[in-house]
Structure 1
């Protein structure tokens, strides 16, 4: 045991650090459930789990596939078997099940760091396997974008885990072992890779993109035997489909609704989204938009990873492009790095082609960017003396360490700040408590949703909601102009107005002004009129108080 701990001490420390950064703050929002996508997965799972004998296992909802829902049902049943004899289970509050769900994501996120270590070792040049593996894991352990999404029971981080597991098994199957170069292809590993790719598709649909990488690699590997190449491609495709249908069976059993949902989902992505839409293919790398669902980052890789990380990752493209012509020019170039680069490009290009651009969709490439960054880091140590480079060779290691610090420090700072904000409280809960303590019951209030449904369901206040269309599938956003202020006040007789900062921010984002100029201008004028006409009685700011959630502003309409 001591020998094991000593041999893997750095990896163990990285994994512990990864877990802490991801688990801290996962109880945010309780007793309310403030992430809109979580409820779409957790609530159906709870309905099934608490009525397991008579449950309808078809969620009748395909915007997200069903693996995470069924996984949570299974976990709840295990907990039920353990706790029911002691009389605890039936008294557990709903927050416990949301906590368990988020903890599952934390474990997927931490396990992804370990898989990144394994893949980094697998693709590294001989002699640097451990160093590149550890540095790859260290980089992913602190990536803010990955840490942020590891706090939610949504598909991005679990899907990333299955992408990594599938890719590692694929590499293991398609490439000979370093120590036994004559070992050849392992069909079992390839089949398992395809199966877990299918499970990933059942977690969030985009792991299907891996198949577009696997097929040409298989065709190239078996290029001398076309029949075997086609057979292996068929096996991979069939096994991936099997893995998907095993955990999303109603995609087949309720196929008409599934197909309609897929068409609608594609239309959503191609039609535009207020606050996060652009036709610029480089939008994901950097843009000036503020995030419309998180207060401590923007909507780009530069914000979600930091510029040091982006630069170091992009620099690895030099190894791929130069190495394609002469793999002796730059060290430590390794032909396997082109697989990493291929996945990065595949996912980036796929999502960049849609006008709707949400940076969380790029969570799956963060482990591969971490591996690329590790290659670049050690690449600066491995540049060979060449004419014109000799004067700067002594300072290249220092440059490498400096860039490494620029990768780690901003991500650690942003992650710690985010975790603290989650654990410190939420602006929406503060606003709700202010409402209960300071505004008399039955008061009329105009409000934008802050996702505390109890506020409306209790019926203590007369609420009139300002609604916003999220997608432009049928031109909804283009016609989503605000109501006339005076008419709204007369009809509601409202004494207070509650504004959600994320709803407000999306109309002020530069991309909205370009994509939906008329509607954005109308809503900007609406919010500016609010500020000019009415008195702010309370403002709950995430940045000033280090809280999670949007800025919530409460106005009084009385002079």
Structure 2
């Protein structure tokens, strides 16, 4: 009887996680061609363009294609391989399908990690939160490094938590290998040294301390070297590119596409962005509240070994990323599954009536938000619609003014005289003279996005005239 009940519970769990994965897949694979193959995300265009230029066996070095490439090379090779296997399919769509698969894997790993640390119910609820989280659904529609990076980070944390509890050498090897793959996507995951170091320090002592450390570090180095050989072969170039991107992220190097973050508050801005857009207010408040609750509990009583591993990633990563000048919401993607776990833990510790109401409320809000978000993919991208309007309205040879550092429209500018307004230039009489000259000769002015006015209108000290 007990055995049949156990089987029944296991069947119920796997049915629920399968249902969650099906729902997550539907949200992630729906509308992959959301921009008609345009490649509207600038990072995605960059990554896909470099990957498409790689060729076996004579052109495998990404620096031969893009000398300033600063991301890890693993996503490039994955897309190049997948593209070669899917001959005749648009490489952009192949990449987005890969990203959707990676994020689907993140949902599964969230369940596995939460179940190991906090139990099955927390695992199922946390996986549901990630499955419905708009930030994950959105990033699954771009082939950028963020979704694969998050997948490998969670794998590293899963095996690090096992290492902390078991002390097995196999877990040390696997934790290191997954961390090396995460590092092969983006170097900011070097912070994984903290949870892996915590796991190695607090694990039950089965062997000499140095042996698991060597295995973990060796596996990480091997995984990185195998997936980023040209980063090691061209180490000065790799470090130069990393240093440049680090300076941009910290605000030490001024570039137009990060000026939108001028005047934004460290920590507060990225958290509010998650509450407004990424998670939604209901899930976001529960998730960050869950993190605060877990820290409070850790202060009051020593956490279990696996809990230390999660905190050793969540707190340093939030402290580091939240302090950056550049605060793109996707930078927190490697943290959001842990926030979902902490939020699920918090809700399941509430009293029964409150627990049921809160879970239903958060899941309902998250489902409605994700459905509303994917509904956007039913309509043509605004740039496609704007271009079609211009094709119908603008005479051949018409002069079209577009903003500097934004996507030029119409998309096919053949037969049009497209001029660029230098809005990001410093405020000088020459700048305004050039703008006045262009506008005087222009038939149509195109503002493709908020990149220009959204950033410069909030910086009157530097752009007094433009801000007006």
* TM-score (norm: length of structure 1): 0.74
CA distance in 2, matches of 1:338, 1:195: 20
Q: Which runs of 5+ in 1 are unaligned?
A: 81-88, 177-184, 288-298, 328-332, 382-396, 470-476, 526-559
Deviation at 1:490, TM superposition (A): 2.5
**1:305 aligned partner:** 279
Worse-superposed segment, 496-505 or 399-408: 399-408
Mapped partners of 2:340, 2:314: distance in 1: 11
Q: Separation in 1 of the partners of 2:98 and 2:427? A: 38
Match of 2:347 in 1: 377
Residue 307 of structure 2: which of 318, 326, 337 is its match? Answer: 337
1:519 matched residue in structure 2: 462
Residues 106, 150 of structure 1: 8 Å contact kept = yes
Following superposition, the deviation at residue 74 of structure 1 comes to: 1.1
Structure 1: how far apart are the matches of 2:310 and 2:56?
43
Identify the match of residue 259 of structure 2 among 274, 299, 303: 274
The equivalent residue for 1:461 is: 416
Question: Structure 1 runs of 4+ off > 6 angstroms?
Answer: 2-5, 222-225, 480-483
Q: Does 1:325 align with 2:297?
A: no
Measured at CA, do residues 326 and 201 of structure 1 come closer, stay the same or move farther in structure 2, by a change above 3 Å?
closer
CA distance in 2, matches of 1:199, 1:380: 37
SS of corresponding position for 2:462: helix
Looking at structure 1, the residues matched to 198 and 117 of structure 2 have their Cα atoms a distance apart, in angstroms, of: 19
CA distance in structure 2 between the aligned counterparts of 1:153 and 1:429, rounded to whole angstroms:
20
Correspondence for 2:33: 27
1:102·1:153 contact (CA, 8 Å) conserved in 2? yes
1:102 aligns with 2:96: yes
Deviations 1:411-443 (A, max 9, x none): 322222221112311111111111111101111
Counterpart of 1:274 in 2: which secondary structure?
A: helix
Cα 1:423–1:355, aligned 2, differ >3 Å: closer, same or farther?
A: same
Contact 1:198 1:241 in 2 (8 A): yes
Partner secondary structure for residue 364 of structure 1: coil
Q: Which residue of 2 aligns with 1:156?
A: 146
Q: What residue number does 1:499 align with?
A: 447
SS in 2 for 1:455: coil
- Deviation of the 1:481 alpha carbon: 6.7
Quick check: which one's helix share is greater? Answer: 2
Query: Is residue 2:152 matched to residue 1:171?
Result: no
2:368 aligned with 1:413, yes or no? yes
Are residue 264 (structure 1) and residue 244 (structure 2) matched?
yes
CA-based RMSD: 2.8
| Partner of residue 19, structure 2 | 13
The secondary structure found in structure 2 opposite 1:336 is helix
Alignment of 1:76-91 (within 5 A): 76-80=83-87, 89=88
Map 1:325-474; keep pairs closer than 5 Å: 325-326=300-301, 336-381=306-351, 397-448=352-403, 451=407, 455=411, 458-467=413-422
CA distance in 1, matches of 2:75, 2:429: 37
- 1:243 aligned partner: 223
What is residue 67 of structure 1 aligned with on the other side? 74
Distance in 2 (alpha carbons) for counterparts of 1:265 and 1:496? 36
Describe the superposition over 1:267-306 as per-residue Cα deviations: whole angstroms up to 9, x where unpaired.
101116222245633324544xxxxxxxxxxx33443112
Does residue 490 (structure 1) correspond to residue 437 (structure 2)? The answer is yes
In the alignment, which residue of structure 1 is the partner of 2:128? Answer: 138
**Runs of at least 5 residues in structure 2 that lack an aligned partner in the other structure:** 1-6
* Cα distance, 1:439–1:279 mapped onto 2, change above 3 Å: closer
- The match for 1:41 is 47
